[in-house]
Structure 1
Amino acid sequence: MWPILPDWAKKPRAGTEINRRRGIGMKPGNNTSKPRRSMMLPAVLVAAVLVTGCWDRTEVNDIAIVLASGIDKEKDGYRVSILVPLPGNMGGATGGGGGSGGNRPYTIDSETGRTVREAYTKLQSRLSRRLFSGHRKVLLIGEEAAKDGLTEIMDIAGRVAENRLTSYIAVSKGKAYELLNAAPKLERFSTEALRELLKSDAAISIQVKDVALELSGEGQDTLLPYVEAVKTEGNNKPNEELQISGYVYTSGGKMAGIAKGDAANGIRWLKKSFKPYLETVSVGDSFASVTIRRGKSSIKPYLVDGSIHYKIKAQGEGTIIEASDSREYEERQNVELLERQLEKKITNDISAVGDIIRKKRSDIPGLGALLGRTYPSRWREEWGPDWPDAIGRIQLRVQVDVNVNRTGMFSKNVGAKEQPDE
């Protein structure tokens, strides 16, 4: 066995890499470190030049962030409006209207053009900062522009890479630029108030990408929330708040009408994503308000003697929010009475949407796409080319099943006095 030597007794061999670094065993004039350094120096200098800066940089002070855009129809083309925040007027929470001296923390500007892009370019030509739409939250379309057609508007929204396809989209009552000028009190920007409404349970959330896909698809029409500015009541100085009052349905890419009330509730059951909402029904001589917490539906096409039929099956769960009658909802027969009233009401809501589909030729739930997947050959040869007319002859069979499984403490009126025993 070889003895184990301490580290200080180990003699490094000449010619190894470690010896070269230490200079051991190297002949004078044979040091290769200097030539290696001389070869690396130009590469280091070139790399330093390349990474010293960004030739295509964009400074924050050079851009104007567009939070919302509005598109209106004019006689000679389109009007494009933008809402841009003013950082200098933001101020603190105590500054009037969000800025010092009560100045608005944003500015709104607009311009007209023969096309949407031409109007946008003319607007850019008089601004000192480059408009940046990468953070746009809402795209608002005026009512007249929606009636004229959504195809050109959605073309520019999807063609320019900077535009966000996840921005919320809606149709305004009247002009879009007028709605952008609304001044809700709870938010600094009308855009922020509108975005919160569009993503809440108050409406079915519709984004730019959803509208683009539905317009380019076959056998379906798109749907958009309908927004208006309303004056608040109960105040000497009424505020102007934004409100979602229904849905704009289209036919052939153009606005065909507005669904409100019962029809707007029925649309919730026919879209893919269900949003909770409140249903109020009459029970005897009084009313009960129930929140439909969960809901789902299925739509299946079938043929009867060659005519097109659809079976719509809806299922939901509800919670009693308010019951002004004296019924004991702990008793099953009273709950079943309420469930029957809810099922009748929801059936009427969905039937109201069916009337719109047939009369306005608006395929809101995409019935044509479902029919094409079920009967592809007949769709291509018979129904597809003439779908706007064929949809007017369809029949709907609606079946609703609602389960009220949370009655809470409303089964007993806590304010009512107990009746004395006889």
Structure 2
Amino acid sequence: MKRTRALGILWICVFMLSGCWDRIEINDLAFVTATGFDLIKENQIRVSIQVPLPSALGGAGSSGGGGGTGGNKPYYVDSTVGRNVREANDLLQSRMSRRSYFAHRRVIVFGEKLARSGFKKSLDLIVEQPQSRLTTFVLVTKGDAIDILNSSPHLEKLPAEAIRELTKAGYHRDVRDVLTDISRPGKDPVLPIVETVLTNNKKGQKQQEISINRLGILKNDQLMFITNYKETNGALWLLEQMQRRGYTFPIENQDEINVGIIKSKVKPEYTLKNNQPSFTLNVNVSANLMQNEGNLELNDPKNYRKAINKMETQIKEEIEAILVHSMSEGIDIYGLGWYLSRKESNLWKQKWEKDWNKLLTELDVKINVKAEIDEAINSALKIKE
């Protein structure tokens, strides 16, 4: 009797476990690779999605079950306006023959208007989606996010992939990083700015490409300003993101030296006077010589010291530029407050935390830069002029 019952249960399990009861065919999914968010007006947000077209991506003779066309593009972009992100997503889904699938989303782009008004609510709703990944890159664009999703980079088939590769090669922040920075006391987020630029080909025709060369400085979740070239470098030095980048500085007679940054570290130190902090940021930089335009003989200690002084001075000026601008608006991009909250937790809670943004405008911060250039080029091997 027991044996018969056991066999009966076994057969029931076999039938119950066979097959995929909740299977979803891949042909029934629309893989979203990028999402853009734009604020149209108060309580009106536009959500845009970028979806690859399998038939177009497969090349000639492909029959990937892809529906619709994107003109000559291997993807299409759809958008709609809702009172919030969830409503807009529902409206998009209502006119799609496939189920939107966000697990392979590469990037999230916030339009400038939405970023300036604050995007945390939108980001929270994104995180609540079961398929969303915290490793998705987050960027801001100067203008509308939908324009970035509709761009046509030439080296990648999908704008999302081009943005992802450019972001990986430079300064990048994912969803987890942004949420962490927003939640930390005494630390404000910094996000890369993605833009479209026009370049010329051999025929003089304009071509559209994607560029990430500037940074958006935020206070909590609101974009406050976009950096210029000097401020961008200064922020990257502070955030220890200059490694593997080229760096150029003038030397003499309009000549310049180009180096490749190997290492860049910032070590903060602070002192207290009458319970008021002041900081010294010690910046250590190591670099390889890449180009010595003026053939300055760097094996000569005097010339080497001259080059180092020029490099250190320029780095210091760049860091001071971003600190002066950001701190004057009560923004802490380095995380000086976060550093104090761990080192002086009692003073932080009792005296500094509540008015930290105001204290920043009066905070004394000194910059010390120590640079070294290795593997100097032997100018004797160059062709003599």
Instruction: Report if TM-score (shorter chain) is over 0.5.
Output: yes
SS at match of 1:124: helix
Deviation, 1:328, is: 1.6
Amino acid at match of 2:161: E
Show the 5 A alignment for 1:88-167.
88-92=55-59, 103-167=72-136
For residue 232 of structure 1, the aligned residue among 179, 199, 210 is 199
Deviation, 1:161, is: 2.7
For residue 271 of structure 1, the aligned residue among 239, 257, 267 is 239
Q: Deviations over 1:114-159 (max 9, x none)?
A: 1111111111111111111111000011011100102112211222
Cα distance in 1, alignment partners of residues 144 and 276 from structure 2? 42
The answer on 1:359 being equivalent to 2:328 is: yes
Change (3 A) 1:101 1:205: closer
The answer on 1:174 being equivalent to 2:143 is: yes
**Pair member with larger Rg:** 1
Change (3 A) 1:379 1:317: same
Q: Deviations over 1:275-330 (max 9, x none)?
A: 33222111111111112121111112322344331110111111111111132223
SS at match of 1:232: strand
- Equivalence for 1:259: 227
Cα distance in 2, alignment partners of residues 198 and 60 from structure 1? 29
Q: Deviations over 1:192-234 (max 9, x none)?
A: 111000000xx21211110011112211111100111000135
Cα distance in 2, alignment partners of residues 139 and 93 from structure 1? 31
* 5+ long unaligned stretches in structure 1: 1-34, 418-422
- Equivalence for 1:374: 343
Change (3 A) 1:287 1:115: same
For residue 207 of structure 1, the aligned residue among 174, 196, 207 is 174
Change (3 A) 1:182 1:120: same
Cα distance in 1, alignment partners of residues 307 and 87 from structure 2? 57
Cα distance in 2, alignment partners of residues 89 and 363 from structure 1? 46
Cα distance in 2, alignment partners of residues 47 and 301 from structure 1? 66
CA contact (8 A) 2:201 2:207 kept: no
- Equivalence for 2:20: 54
- Equivalence for 1:340: 309
CA RMSD of aligned residues (A): 2.2
Per mean C-alpha deviation after superposition, the further-off stretch among 164-173 and 38-47 is 38-47
Per mean C-alpha deviation after superposition, the further-off stretch among 152-161 and 106-115 is 152-161
Identity of aligned residues (%): 31
For residue 250 of structure 2, the aligned residue among 282, 303, 316 is 282
Change (3 A) 1:368 1:387: same
Cα distance in 2, alignment partners of residues 93 and 150 from structure 1? 41
CA contact (8 A) 1:157 1:163 kept: yes
Deviation, 1:102, is: 7.1
CA contact (8 A) 1:274 1:296 kept: no
Cα distance in 2, alignment partners of residues 338 and 88 from structure 1? 56
Deviation, 1:93, is: 7.8
CA contact (8 A) 2:70 2:76 kept: no
Per mean C-alpha deviation after superposition, the further-off stretch among 139-148 and 158-167 is 158-167
TM-score relative to the length of structure 1: 0.84
Cα distance in 1, alignment partners of residues 20 and 318 from structure 2? 58
The answer on 1:189 being equivalent to 2:158 is: yes
SS at match of 1:318: strand
- Equivalence for 2:31: 65
* 5+ long unaligned stretches in structure 2: none
Amino acid at match of 1:176: A
For residue 53 of structure 2, the aligned residue among 66, 70, 86 is 86
Cα distance in 1, alignment partners of residues 364 and 139 from structure 2? 30
Cα distance in 2, alignment partners of residues 326 and 274 from structure 1? 25
CA contact (8 A) 2:107 2:164 kept: yes
Amino acid at match of 1:57: R
Amino acid at match of 1:145: L
TM-score relative to the length of structure 2: 0.92
- Equivalence for 1:13: none
SS at match of 1:393: coil
Cα distance in 2, alignment partners of residues 325 and 225 from structure 1? 34
Cα distance in 2, alignment partners of residues 247 and 323 from structure 1? 29
- Equivalence for 1:17: none
Cα distance in 2, alignment partners of residues 55 and 325 from structure 1? 72
Change (3 A) 1:272 1:245: closer
Change (3 A) 1:312 1:36: same
CA contact (8 A) 1:301 1:374 kept: no
Cα distance in 2, alignment partners of residues 395 and 219 from structure 1? 16
Deviation, 1:41, is: 3.5
* Higher relative contact order (Cα pairs below 8 Å, separated by 6+ residues): 2
Cα distance in 2, alignment partners of residues 228 and 273 from structure 1? 20
Cα distance in 2, alignment partners of residues 302 and 255 from structure 1? 31
